[in-house]
Structure 1
Amino acid sequence: MGLGILDIVLLTLSIMSSAAIGIYYGIKGRKSTPLEYLLGGKSMKPLPLAMSMMVGTVSAITIMGNAGEMYAHGTQMWMMDLGIVLGLVIVAKVFIPIMYPLDMVSLYQYVEKRFKSKWLRQATVVLQLLGGYFFIGFLLFPPSVALQAFTPLPSYANIFIVGATCTLYSAVGGVKAVVYADVLQSLVMIAGVLAIVIQGSMYAGGLDMVWDIAYHNDRIELLNFNLDPYQHHSFWLCIILGFFFTLGTFGVNQSQTQRYFSTGSIAQAQWVLYYAAIGMVFLRGLINLSGLVIYAYFKDCDPLTENDPHKDPAYVLIPYVKMVLTKIPGLSGLFVAAIYAAVLSSVSTQLNSMTALLWEDFLKVLPIFSDWSEVKIGGLQKVIVFATGTLGTALGFLVSQLQSFLTTLFAINGALSGPLIGLFLVAVYLPWVTYKGASAGFIVSIILNMWIAIGQVTLPKRALLPSSRSGCNTNPAVEMFIADDPFNVTATDNVFNLTTVAIDTMQMEDTKHPVYGLSYCLNSLWGTLFCIVVSVIVTAITGSNTPEDVDEKLIAPGSWVLFQRSLVLQAKEFFREKILRRESSTRGGNKQKDEELEIKDPLNNSLELKEPKDDDIESRGAV
């Protein structure tokens, strides 16, 4: 039940096409400037950039993880898409009009401009780089597991192959190669997921039967409005997860902001996000539906239960593909190609953006590069891509030791992105906050958020929804397949074998801090709130900005108006109590003025202006 000849042909064509695009743009742009290599000369069209943005975030983790989530925990996480759409609109309307006109390559140049602090800019870059390297490791692991099930190669060999492929064409072609390869890969991904949905729904008797089976087995849950923050998912938790995931990914993350920086205007940059929102809802919807289709097929013979109760539900895709799609030549190859396309697009996006950060924020200012030609700098950027890809591949081996990688990824990503979101919101909406307050808030939020995330990762996995094996005796093919260990990834296969020990839940509840049990969906929210609150408190203690300290174009217009209005009120108060009092006190010989100005000084020598009466004004006019 491995790959047939047609499957191998389709997979090979997919990979070779991506490599060919990279080589083409590498040859075409061999003398390109750094701006062309990183931003495509700021002349790229919104639609291909939107498709690149879509597949840059809908990765192999999404295909395998979301399908497994629907299979094992139900459909509540589907509501995350509402939060994603809301977040994309906010980014388009708030962040882009401020960030795009600044003509930046690195998004974090904004931090330095706003707070006049180079070290704070570099701190944000370091945090982004750490998250990016770790994310590459996550991106490489799921496809290596899928490929291991269809090829004789072990998972670590597949990690190396996929990582090397991504690194090669990303380094050669630059951002144009990445974007146009993403366009091709998005089509492959859609075709691969459609193959699962169509073939599976045919087995079940139609999509209506798939939904009916899921409904009667408690998989359909969309409107759980429970406010308990300790539950796995709810409507509110998923909205928060999607909203802050979007702010962290499309608002304050170099890998995606670099996409809309590559367009020619603010309006085009906004359309990139609008197109991406449509594509993401469609593709993520297909992926979520595929999880229900797989459940309908395995409803009476769960392949996860007996083989390994601690196995990640995302692996359920593998036995399904091997048992269902291999019956039709080419479909299993299409699925593997979709997984490959997903990881190629996501990793290449990360490599390109991290190269931009390393060059713009650290290397460009060094004296050694001051007299380098643009062509020579372009060559150096290719070397940086190779080095970044190598390190990311190494981290892929480390990530292979983790269980429940979708939840773990969201937990860690939320912990890292929350402080960044908070810092940017402070910068955009709170102009009176100084660099001291922002720095304190940023550091404190990182420490607190990482404490929470690390504690969450050490907790045991949440229980899956009930599943059945009562029908395995009527389907000997499934039973035999499960007995043969279809996942072919056990604890002994791990490269480093860090830990695979199951921990008793009651014991964990007794020994771990209760904050660890909070839903991982809230991690970004906590980081954002920590950063904002600490920034405001520290600024209140150490002193705030004035309009002379802040550039108006770096602030949201509404916040700037409020900032100015509060200062105008302060100026009026100062004028009335200081200037008018001084003028009136110098006119002591004028009895008429003395009558109008009544001095009251029982405790604090303050002055109070006494308005003249209308009768007095009329009588004076007559005189």
Structure 2
Amino acid sequence: MGLSAVDITLFSISLIASAAIGIYHGVRGIKSTPLEYLLGGRNMKSFPLAMSMMVGTVSAVTIMGNAGEMYAYGTQFWVMDLGIAMGMVLVAKVLIPIMYPLQMVSLYQYIEKRFKSKTLRQATVVLQLLGGYFFTGFILFPPSIALKFFTGLPIMTNIFIMGATCTVYSAFGGVKAVVYADVFQAVVMVIGVLAIVIQGSVAMGGIDKVWDTAYHGDRIEFFNLSLNPYQRHSFWLCATLGLFFALSTYGVNQSQTQRFFSTGSLNEAQWVLYYAAAGMVFLKAIINLAGLVMYAYYKDCDPITDPKNYIKDPSIVVVKYVLEVLTKVPGMSGIFVAAIYAAVLSSVSTQLNSMTALLWEDFLKELKIFSDYSEVKKGAIQKIIVFLSGVLGLVFGLAVSQMGSFFKTLFTINGALTGPLIGLFLVAVYFPWINAAGAAFGFAISIILNIWIVVGQLFTQLPAKHLPMSREGCLVPPPHNNTNSIQLNFTTPAFEDMNTAVTTETALMNDEGPDRSLYALSYCLNSVWGTLICIIVAVIVTAVTGTNAPEDIDKKLVAGKSWALFERTVSLQGREPLIKSFLRRSSSAQRSNSCSKRDTENPSALELSPDGVDQHKVKNAEDDG
């Protein structure tokens, strides 16, 4: 059941090559400055950066999760990639022209510039750091369980190998090592997934046969145009999920924006997104096809519904398929294992590089202890930060291995933070009249409410029902299961662990049913709620506390059309806070009521003549005369 010598050699070469790339760039850049270490001196080319951006967001969980989604639920989720492509183009057209000219290292410097609030900037950074470290642990742990069945190595050992490898080349070589290692790993990932698609298609009689089998098994669905927000997936829900995923990942997340900050011009920065969008669509397409290949293979003998197996999560079917099918061809399974390792390494190294940038730029750079350091010495400090971040990531990975499904909850809650962050940036870019208080309250309240919704979903929703499965073919050994096939033991407790740890990128949801509560809404809309709540609360708080005036902000930080509207609309500029207005009017009303009450209690003080003249005033005037 283990890998052959050829397989082990192939994935070992992959690991060694990744480390060698980092060491090479580390030797070349041994005296690199912070700008060179974190952003490659802002002169890197668009295409390698795009490849790095693409694989930095496609983890091993993506490979296993998306393939499992196609296997068990069909192709509706594929539409998410359309939303991702649209969102990446939107980021390139709208956000990059504002962000890139600011020449930032940390994306969240923009928040401080726009709202003149260092506290708000650091709050966003802290959330990103916490999410980044937990995400590092998450992407290290689940694949390590699957790799245990490929390599025979213990879970802890797999976590250590993957974490240590990417820590070494990330710490030595900086962003250049990460980017060029990602390019190599992108090639490995494509080849590894294609191994499933090609080998499986050949065994099933061609890709057209695979597609036809999936079609008759009700797996092909793209245009469910229902507007019902309570269903698990539809065209609109998946497109929305993809759009907000792109905005959160490529627009307001340091790990990816750091890629286009590393280019030499605005045009090249935009092309990073365009290239990455095309590469993402292609890579996700072959991953999804791999899921359909697995369905065609197991359509008459589904392992998920086998009562004797621990396999319950569709993601894990990938492991069974590779061990049963790819091991028949020497080297094939080794290539796939290398792809899994590559996916983990690319994602972890991207996180380490971005977290170092945040820690240095947003917290450590301004400390007095570093003020007298040379640029080269500051670069050395950053290498130490990457190394320590890698160690901390390893600790999180090992800790997650003891948490089971508990960490799954934490990871889902972390996903609830993306909506509020999108909302905060949209407020900053498109609502110039909104002040810092409005933005801060909107951000904080949207986080609280979004977490509340997600936690409610986790505790109330049941796993979604799979599409029809069959085990009729298991009664008679199918042609592809001959006596020479490897007999697999999928009834071990390790697979029970995998079912609690390996989570697809699609959360578990109820099918459409009678439940119409807030918690029953599709998970695809979670980021939407966070974004809307942030914007609405920011508008309300600003209306109460008073809007900005044009001189309060730099118009370069705001979208052009929004600034033009702001300048033309007097009612949006520096209005008196409603609280102050209310208190002033209340005070005037109280004074008026007080005078009226006094006059009523002393009627002799006010004597009017028949023609309406105040006789008291006349008398006083005569006395003065």
Instruction: Compute the TM-score of the two structures, normalised by the length of structure 2.
Output: 0.85
Q: Are residue 484 (structure 1) and residue 485 (structure 2) matched?
A: no
CA offset at residue 430 of structure 1? 0.1
Of 102-111 and 144-153, deviating more is 144-153
1-structure distance, mates of 2:465, 2:411: 18
Q: Taking structure 1 as reference, are residues 305 and 481 closer, same or farther at Cα in structure 2, changes over 3 Å only?
A: farther
The amino acid that maps onto 1:172 is: F
Q: Are residue 63 (structure 1) and residue 68 (structure 2) matched?
A: no
CA offset at residue 369 of structure 1? 1.2
2-structure distance, mates of 1:492, 1:314: 13
Q: Taking structure 1 as reference, are residues 569 and 157 closer, same or farther at Cα in structure 2, changes over 3 Å only?
A: closer
**SS in structure 2 at match of 1:107:** coil
2-structure distance, mates of 1:398, 1:462: 29
| Structure 2 residue aligned with 1:589 | none
Deviations 1:123-167 (A, max 9, x none): 010111111112212211232122111122222321222111111
Please, which of 453, 471, 474 is the counterpart of residue 473 of structure 2? Answer: 471
The amino acid that maps onto 1:193 is: V
Q: Taking structure 1 as reference, are residues 482 and 170 closer, same or farther at Cα in structure 2, changes over 3 Å only?
A: same
| Structure 2 residue aligned with 1:312 | 313
| Structure 2 residue aligned with 1:279 | 279
2-structure distance, mates of 1:504, 1:230: 9
| Structure 2 residue aligned with 1:369 | 370
Deviations 1:538-567 (A, max 9, x none): 000110000010101000000000000113
1-structure distance, mates of 2:493, 2:32: 45
2-structure distance, mates of 1:505, 1:292: 23
**SS in structure 1 at match of 2:190:** helix
**SS in structure 2 at match of 1:461:** coil
Segments of 5+ residues of structure 1 without an aligned counterpart are 497-502, 572-623
Q: Taking structure 1 as reference, are residues 460 and 481 closer, same or farther at Cα in structure 2, changes over 3 Å only?
A: farther
Q: Taking structure 1 as reference, are residues 455 and 166 closer, same or farther at Cα in structure 2, changes over 3 Å only?
A: farther
| Structure 1 residue aligned with 2:388 | 387
| Structure 1 residue aligned with 2:4 | 4
Q: Taking structure 1 as reference, are residues 445 and 513 closer, same or farther at Cα in structure 2, changes over 3 Å only?
A: farther
2-structure distance, mates of 1:112, 1:552: 14
2-structure distance, mates of 1:471, 1:391: 48
Q: Taking structure 1 as reference, are residues 505 and 337 closer, same or farther at Cα in structure 2, changes over 3 Å only?
A: closer
Q: Taking structure 1 as reference, are residues 538 and 123 closer, same or farther at Cα in structure 2, changes over 3 Å only?
A: same
Deviations 1:319-367 (A, max 9, x none): 1001111111000000000111111111100100000000100111111
**SS in structure 2 at match of 1:220:** coil
2-structure distance, mates of 1:258, 1:35: 12
Please, which of 551, 555, 558 is the counterpart of residue 552 of structure 1? Answer: 555
| Structure 1 residue aligned with 2:580 | none
**SS in structure 2 at match of 1:471:** helix
2-structure distance, mates of 1:570, 1:142: 52
| Structure 2 residue aligned with 1:421 | 422
CA offset at residue 494 of structure 1? 10
CA offset at residue 492 of structure 1? 7.0
Q: Taking structure 1 as reference, are residues 398 and 224 closer, same or farther at Cα in structure 2, changes over 3 Å only?
A: farther
8 A contact 2:57–2:347 mirrored in 1? yes
8 A contact 1:32–1:375 mirrored in 2? yes
Matches within 5 A, 1:210-609: 210-306=210-306, 307-308=308-309, 311-400=312-401, 401-402=403-404, 411-458=412-459, 459-475=461-477, 477=481, 484-485=489-490, 489-491=494-496, 514-567=517-570
1-structure distance, mates of 2:26, 2:53: 21
Query: Matched residue pairs, number?
Result: 562
8 A contact 2:111–2:121 mirrored in 1? yes
CA offset at residue 5 of structure 1? 1.2
CA offset at residue 260 of structure 1? 0.3
CA offset at residue 392 of structure 1? 2.0
The amino acid that maps onto 1:468 is: S
Q: Taking structure 1 as reference, are residues 505 and 111 closer, same or farther at Cα in structure 2, changes over 3 Å only?
A: closer
8 A contact 1:146–1:336 mirrored in 2? no
Deviations 1:394-430 (A, max 9, x none): 322454455599x979844541111110000000000
Deviations 1:506-557 (A, max 9, x none): 9xx99x9932222211111111001000000000011000001010100000
Deviations 1:201-237 (A, max 9, x none): 1111111111111111111111111122222111111
Deviations 1:11-41 (A, max 9, x none): 1111111100000000110100000000000
Q: Taking structure 1 as reference, are residues 321 and 541 closer, same or farther at Cα in structure 2, changes over 3 Å only?
A: same
Q: Taking structure 1 as reference, are residues 158 and 488 closer, same or farther at Cα in structure 2, changes over 3 Å only?
A: farther
**SS in structure 2 at match of 1:419:** helix
2-structure distance, mates of 1:490, 1:329: 25
2-structure distance, mates of 1:464, 1:39: 45
Matches within 5 A, 1:130-169: 130-169=130-169
The amino acid that maps onto 2:561 is: G
Q: Taking structure 1 as reference, are residues 493 and 18 closer, same or farther at Cα in structure 2, changes over 3 Å only?
A: closer
Q: Taking structure 1 as reference, are residues 76 and 397 closer, same or farther at Cα in structure 2, changes over 3 Å only?
A: farther
CA offset at residue 93 of structure 1? 0.6
Q: Taking structure 1 as reference, are residues 495 and 311 closer, same or farther at Cα in structure 2, changes over 3 Å only?
A: closer
Matches within 5 A, 1:87-166: 87-166=87-166
Note the aligned Cα RMSD (angstroms).
Answer: 2.7
2-structure distance, mates of 1:495, 1:420: 28
2-structure distance, mates of 1:215, 1:548: 60
The amino acid that maps onto 1:485 is: F
8 A contact 1:112–1:120 mirrored in 2? yes
Of 458-467 and 70-79, deviating more is 458-467
Matches within 5 A, 1:6-21: 6-21=6-21
2-structure distance, mates of 1:98, 1:268: 14
CA offset at residue 390 of structure 1? 2.1
1-structure distance, mates of 2:79, 2:161: 35
Q: Taking structure 1 as reference, are residues 31 and 323 closer, same or farther at Cα in structure 2, changes over 3 Å only?
A: same
Q: Taking structure 1 as reference, are residues 379 and 495 closer, same or farther at Cα in structure 2, changes over 3 Å only?
A: farther
2-structure distance, mates of 1:309, 1:530: 41
The amino acid that maps onto 1:365 is: E
2-structure distance, mates of 1:569, 1:386: 49
8 A contact 1:318–1:487 mirrored in 2? no
Instruction: Compute the TM-score of the two structures, normalised by the length of structure 1.
Output: 0.86
2-structure distance, mates of 1:352, 1:37: 9
**SS in structure 1 at match of 2:388:** helix
The amino acid that maps onto 1:462 is: A
CA offset at residue 495 of structure 1? 12
CA offset at residue 391 of structure 1? 2.2
The amino acid that maps onto 1:2 is: G
8 A contact 1:404–1:461 mirrored in 2? no
Q: Taking structure 1 as reference, are residues 15 and 370 closer, same or farther at Cα in structure 2, changes over 3 Å only?
A: same
1-structure distance, mates of 2:312, 2:302: 12
| Structure 2 residue aligned with 1:585 | none
The amino acid that maps onto 1:6 is: V
Of 51-60 and 390-399, deviating more is 390-399
CA offset at residue 305 of structure 1? 1.8
Q: Taking structure 1 as reference, are residues 492 and 313 closer, same or farther at Cα in structure 2, changes over 3 Å only?
A: closer
Segments of 5+ residues of structure 2 without an aligned counterpart are 502-507, 575-625
Q: Taking structure 1 as reference, are residues 284 and 492 closer, same or farther at Cα in structure 2, changes over 3 Å only?
A: closer
The amino acid that maps onto 1:85 is: A
8 A contact 1:411–1:521 mirrored in 2? no
8 A contact 1:415–1:527 mirrored in 2? yes
The amino acid that maps onto 1:134 is: F
